[in-house]
Amino acid sequence: MAAELLQATGGRMGQMEQQMGQMRQMSSSSSSSTTFSSMSSSKLRKVSQASSRNTEEHSVVQRKTSAVVESFSQEQKSLQIPEGESVPDFEEKLRPITAQEGDKAVFKAKVTGNPQPSVTWERASGCPLSEGTKTFYDNINKQHILKIKSLALEDADVYKCTASNQHGDATYSVSLVVTENPAMDFKKLLKKRSVAKKEEKKKPPTEEEMLKILSGADKKDYERICAEHGFTDFRGILKKLKEMKKKEEVEMVRVLKPLEDVTAKIDSNVVFDTILELKDPNTKMLWFLGTELLRIQYSKGKYEVKQMGTKHMLCVSAVSLSDMGTYTLQVGDKSLSATLTVIDEPLKFLSDLKPMRVTERQTAVFEIRLSKKTDAPLIWMAKGKEVKRDEKFEVSRSEDGLTYTLKIKDVKASDTGDYTISIGDLTATAPLFIERLPIKFTRHLKNVHVMEKGKARLECEMSTKDVHIRWKKDGHDITGNPRYIFMREGKRAEVIIEDCVLEDEGEYAIVCTQDNDAHEYVSSANLTVDERFATVKSDMSDAQCPTGAPAELCVVLNDEKVDGVWLKDGVQISDLSGVQVVKQGAVHKLLFTGVTDAHQGKYTFRAKGVESEAVLTIADPPEIDSTVLEMLGAKPVTVKAGQTATIKIPFKGRPPPKVTWYKDGLEVMEDDRTKVERTADSTSLVLSRTVREDSGVIMLRVKNDCGSAVAHLHLNVVDHPKPPQGKVEFLEQSRKCIKMKWKAPRDNGGKQVTSFVIERRVAGKKSWNRVGEVDSSTTVFSNDNVEEGQAYQYRIRAVNSEGMSDPLETEEVHAGEPIEPPGTTSQPQVSNITKDSMTVSWAPPAQDGGAPVLGYTLERRKKGSNMWVQVNKELLTDTKYVVDGLVGDMEYEFRVTSVNRAGAGSPSSISNAVLAKDPIRAPGLVRNLRVSDSSSSSISLSWRPPEQGDEPSGYVLEVRPENTKEWMKTTKIPIAGTAFTVGGLQERMKYFFRIRAVNEGGVGEPIELSEGVLAMPPPVAPRFDLQGKLKNKTVVRAGTALCLHLSFTGSPPPVVTWLRDGFLTKGREVITKSKNHSQFIISSSQRSDSGVYRVHLSNDYGEAHYDVSVTVTDFPRPPKNLRLVEEVPGTVTLQWDHTPDLANDDGAHYIILKRDTSTASWFTATERVFSNKYTVTGLLPGRKYYFRVIAQNSIGESDPLDSKEPLIIAKEKECISSFLLKEYTPPSRQVKPSFLLPLKDHAVRRGHDCTMSCAYQGLPTPQACWYKGESKISDSPRFWQSTANGVCTLIIPSCGAKDGGEYTLVLENPLGMAKCSCKLVIFDKDDKGLLESLVDRANKSYLAR
């Protein structure tokens, strides 16, 4: 039977050994991941077999697999992982499992990663998971679970759990070891035998054989096993099986050393130990104190059970009297006991309280230790008084409760005395001695230097304020001398001496002492008093005055008692006529009654240690001849545009005055057109190439220190007129006629406008056709030759004797517009309010949609409600309607909708909420509305109150510009008076006014001025602001914004027109205009935008223009359609489509760049390529590359054309012959590593690859390891290396500055090691100095050979 059992299990044992061999191979071959494994035994299975059945002794075959494998690996796929995402990892790792055949096994893993990884399970042997295996995800515990039910020996394997996402994989491998269950083996064997020998009759086993079979099986399987073996005496075999197990249990526990009684002191630690020999190491042990079970895990460290081999211990920490008693250990049927006796000793001091000697300001510490813990109260006393805890005293006790400490912080002399501790009947006393700190001067007396009659201050600062002070001068005590002022504040002391005299000079000292210290502490300093000399308090200043005027020279000294003398040109003044010398205290004056030429010169005042000088000169104000002024003011200077204007004015004055020219109040600055000429007695203003903007008021100011003179004149430059004023108003747009109206130009160019020329073009066309000309007396034109529905654009030019103006262009208009719903009416106004009716009025819509308004619908709602109710059943043709049927004291809101043939328009804005209530009478019509005054920005009106209706509480004044139909209120609240000034109006704009009287009863009917009123400003011709003038020439890059900005003035505001090369701009531009400036912007300029741009200004009083020459440069457009082809290994051919901008440019070419995916820098492959194809060589196998093509011309480079995806350079395929040749067996000899051809130094240009190679020999084949400096680079993905056929190669792709340095190759085998180094230098394209040094070094190396 044993032989059959071995035969049946042999195949399973072989399979188990094969699986465990795969486990070993897997654990030993893992190099790229972190792997840890342990093998508890070199044998995979032990099989024991008893002797043959003839000896009637049988034993069950036992199998034990003790191999444990556990490994982890992680692989990253993405080169760069976005922030917040990660590679998969195991938060809770799997654990190896060892289980018996027939049991179940569960593997649990918790994984992390973003995005959420997917998890798969597999076996390392490649076998599929068994049918009883289930994998699922636990949503509660967030775990991935592999569960195997009813384990079989075939389930033993290494199980791999793999978590994957787009950034990488993480794999955790653990082993499942399945041990054999003897009962299971017998079941399988019996099952197999029963199938193989169905026809044979089973012979029941003997009683002894049955006992052996049942001894390894579970109790629940006893009856089934007996039935399978045909054994009928089931109760008898169970009885004998129990007796056999009892005999075995009798010898389960053997006591080698019993527990022993222990005697210990309070708070000590106690250990009970015994030596037991247990047949079953899992035998349960229980400890008791008396009859109470000790709950070890809930004792908070009081009890602890330990085991060291066969020695078992119970540790009791910090024993007390309550821990006394009998401790019992219950093991199986054995019971061991021992007694613990705790001894309590009397309380005493283990050390004396030692006297303390401490330096002042330090901390004194008294410490004493007791023999045991006590609950008796503790009292510290200082000089007979109990110590209380505060900032001064700190009382503490050690963690063991035996050491007591008293700390006295920041001790002072007053803390000296005896300190006592009392605990129960125990008392200890020790004295505290304080050593005084020496006095230190934190700030010593410093030497003082003062002038006679000055104030001296000597001060110092000590380290403490508890000191006694005495002052000394030259060794004599001056503490009580009233001549000195002594001051003391805290640690600071000082002495003050007022009005110092020479006798106060000497050495001053401060002497400090303190209690209980006989030492004197001294600090001294010297006081020096210097004799006083006079100094100048206020010096003389140079003076200028007209002939005959009085003058004064003045000097102020700091001392009244000092005298001095006056000198003129170095000679003392004695009898100079018209001069008087005056002295008033410290003030010394020289007075001149009337200055003449004889008084001019250099004057000097001298006193003791003092000298002051000044110069007196005569100056006359400038003057311009009155006849010249009259001639300039009589008539303006007139010149045609483009000619040169020269204005010359003579003057006189001494000293020569400063000349300044002004135009319209602004100073004239010289430029290429404006020159200012100056002679001794005249000045000229020359304006070349005059323009209309040069017209204006010219002023000359001549000024010196004595005065100024001014000359005024008017310069008039005549030119062609400015364009008519826009916007053009279309009076009619029917299918047969388009009628338009415009305004005359603001600036007629200095000449009368004779006519207007009208041109037209069809929308979308470029050519203009002249359609008419009208006299200057009219600004209206009708074009009858139109096609219905056709869109047109018109432009109008003004003509005078100097020429034709720039055109005023209109927007596109249609002949006959489509009908649309009308616009919104004005906000409804409510009047004639009573408790049951109201009158609602409104103004027609500003836009009728191209068809007459048929009528209106009126709606009302209660305030706060969302439901509108239509008031009228039929359309209202009037703009006023009486709404009745209202509820009194209820607030209502109204809105009006206009209707034409196209339908209803949008509702008007909601009226103000009105309360249905009987009101007072509304006021009548306002009387005598008239204009009282006007200016360029305001119009003043006045009126009289109405005679009808109740008295008004205010007035609502409304204004409407000429070009709109809507009335606007001038104030937010009614006007209280009968006059008002409307401000903020536009110059020369016509405004209409109407006014209503209001009171609580409502708003009266409006009264309107019969005619519009113009806001008339003072006339000023347009002119450019020369301060912010544009340059005449501007160069911009194509694709960037072309921005021309200028500032100007003019009243009324001029019309601004932009032209390019004499024509209006095409419409790509954005032109912004305001009252004082205009800006011309083309957001993305092109070459076609180059030209001369003219800005033209015009109003009713003049015109002006300015030209700017603009040049637009451009860069080539990028090539297109980049294609990559790897025709030859290690090379890539690039093809692309030509850029159209390089077709006619002989110097245009392409630049080719490449980039390894491991770096962010681009490197040049070649610089001048004229075709659309290029082959890049020198690429590394296995690397990924991006490629870039750039077009370049004389202006610059185009945008790059990049390859969309990286190209992987294919690795060289292994030679087929290596599979066909017979493996070469090298001779059995060993060679130490050595270099046949060493490494050489390299100099590589930045961005190029570097290849280092050397030849070596050595057997066994040495292991190669590369270093850069001290860092190992063999495993770095930045480098590519190979070792084959005795050659080691290192390739550094796309070298950068950081790759320079020393590289070392280390070869090592069991016989020894060899090293070889070289240097790598990285240089730039323009680094000529480095190239020359490398060439010189190479030449020297060659000559040295």
Task: Please name which of 1262, 1233, 1239, 1261 lies closest in space to residue 1251, comparing C-alpha atoms.
Answer: 1239
Question: Does residue 709 sit in helix, strand or coil?
Answer: strand
Contact between 899 and 824 (Cβ < 8 Å): no
Between the alpha carbon of residue 947 and those of residues 421, 596, 950, 997, 1036, the distances in Å are: 110, 80, 9, 11, 71
CA distance 1264 to 567: 101
Place of tokens 């119009």: 939
Q: Which helix (H) or strand (E) is 1218 found in, with range? A: helix 1217-1220
> Cα–Cα distances in Å, from 778 out to 122, 382, 742, 805?
99, 118, 9, 17
924 neighbors 995 (Cβ within 8 angstroms):
no
Return the HEC string of 358-373.
EECCCCEEEEEEECCC
pLDDT in tens, 1028-1053: 566 777 877 777 888 888 888 887 78
Residue pair 378/423 in contact (Cβ under 8 Å)? The answer is yes
Ramachandran angles phi, psi of 204, nearest 5° = -60, 145
| CA–CA separation, 335 and 586 (whole Å) | 122
Q: How far is CA 344 from CA 265, 341, 398, 497, in A?
A: 6, 10, 21, 79
For residue 589, CA distances in Å to 542, 617, 1282 come to: 14, 17, 102
Q: What is the pLDDT of residue 198?
A: 43
DSSP string, 634-685: HS-EEEETTS-EEEEEE-EEESPPEEEEEETTEE----SSEEEEE-SSEEEE
The enclosing H or E element of 41 equals none
Which residues are registered as beta bridge partners of 1190?
Answer: 1151
Low-confidence ranges of the chain (pLDDT < 50): 1-66, 192, 194-201, 1214-1224, 1342, 1345
Question: How far is 1130 from 1180, CA to CA, in rounded Å?
Answer: 6
Q: Write out the H or E segment, with its range, that includes residue 860.
A: strand 855-862
Side chain identity at 1261, as an amino acid letter? Answer: T
Residue 616's nearest CA partner among 600, 631, 630 is 600
pLDDT value, residue 1341: 56
Could you check whether the bond before residue 1052 is cis, i.e. omega within 30 degrees of 0? yes
Predicted confidence (pLDDT) per residue in 456-510, tens digit:
999 999 988 888 899 999 989 998 888 899 998 988 999 999 888 888 899 999 9
Residue 897 corresponds to which tokens in the numbers above? 């909708």
To 5 degrees, how large is the angle CA 731–CA 734–CA 740? 25
Confirm if 167 and 85 have CB atoms less than 8 A apart: yes
- Amino acid (1-letter code) at residue 1030: L
Task: Give the end-to-end CA distance of the chain in Å, rounded to a whole number.
Answer: 88
User: At how many degrees (to 10) do helices 182-196 and 2-29 cross?
Assistant: 120
Residue 1125 in contact with residue 1044, Cβ under 8 Å? no
pLDDT reported for residue 580: 86
Q: What pLDDT, on a 0 to 100 scale, did the predictor assign at position 1329?
A: 55
Taking phi over 0 as left and psi of -120 to 50 as alpha, with beta for the rest, 570 belongs to left
Residues 1075 and 659: their CA atoms lie apart, in Å, by 33
The string of DSSP letters for 1005-1067 reads --EE-SS-EE-PPPPEEEEE-GGGPPPSEEEEETTS-EEEEEEEEEESPPEEEEEETTEE--S
Strand partners for 1137: 1120
List all residues 6 or more positions away from 1191 whose beta carbon is below 8 Å from its beta carbon: 1116, 1117, 1118, 1119, 1139, 1141, 1142, 1148, 1149, 1150, 1197, 1198
Whole-angstrom distance, CA of residue 623 vs CA of residue 1149: 71
What is the signed CA dihedral for 808, 809, 811, 817, rounded to 10 degrees?
90
Segment (H or E) for 356 = strand 356-359
Could you give the CA distance from residue 726 to residue 1056 in angstroms, rounded to a whole number?
Answer: 10
User: CA-CA distance, 288 to 272, in Å (whole number)?
Assistant: 12
Phi, psi of 248 (to 5 degrees): -70, -35
Q: Which two tokens stand for residue 442?
A: 């934190």
Contact indicator for 620, 549 with CB cutoff of 8 Å:
no
Task: Name the residue type at position 1154.
Answer: K
Cβ–Cβ < 8 Å for 970, 990: no
pTM over 0.85: no
DSSP 98-133: EEETTS-EEEEEEEEEESPPEEEEEETT-PPPPTTE
Nearest by Cα to 692 from 362, 214, 1054: 1054
Distance CA 324, CA 444 (A): 73
Rounded to 5, what percent of the chain is helix, strand, coil? Answer: 10, 45, 40
